[in-house]
């Protein structure tokens, strides 16, 4: 395997996932489509920071933002196929943390 191609990709993947709160947002969305206020309440993150992280994840193609034309407007977030593909990784991190983190 050519390490010169692997290292930059691995580094970029780690940069995406390791941003503060990003892993928790992805983990929260693994349970399905959710509204902004639900994610905010479950994680305990500020609205401003959650909005910023969701925009980043949407730009990366990991999160999908869906607007429902209702009154009032309803917006829900879910994982894309790319985001769902992180599930095995997130489950392994969960399993590791249960075994090794006090």
Q: What is the pLDDT of residue 5?
A: 63
**CA pair distance 71, 11, nearest whole angstrom:** 43
Q: What is the pLDDT of residue 7?
A: 84
Q: Give the three-class secondary structure for 83.
A: helix
Q: Tell me, what DSSP letter sits at residue 86?
A: T
Question: Is 4's pLDDT higher than 60?
Answer: no
39-96 pLDDT tens trace: 999 999 999 999 999 999 999 999 999 999 999 999 999 999 999 999 999 999 999 9
Instruction: Report the range of poorest mean pLDDT among 9-13, 16-20, 81-85, 88-92.
Output: 9-13
**Domains along the sequence of the chain with CATH:** 3-100 (1.10.10.10)
- The stretch 19-34 carries a mean pLDDT of 97
78 by Cβ neighbours in 10 Å (0-12 / 13-18 / 19+) ranks as middle
**CA pair distance 42, 24, nearest whole angstrom:** 10
């Amino acid at each position: 395997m050519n390490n010169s191609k692997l290292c930059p990709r691995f580094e970029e993947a780690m940069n995406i996932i390791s941003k503060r709160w990003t892993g928790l947002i992805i983990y929260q969305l693994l349970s399905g489509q959710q509204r902004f206020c639900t994610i905010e309440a479950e994680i305990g993150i500020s609205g401003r920071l959650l909005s910023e992280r969701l925009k980043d994840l949407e730009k990366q193609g990991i999160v999908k933002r869906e607007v429902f034309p209702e009154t009032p407007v309803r917006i829900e977030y879910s994982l894309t196929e790319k985001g769902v593909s992180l599930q095995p990784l997130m489950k392994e991190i969960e399993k590791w943390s249960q075994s090794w983190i006090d």
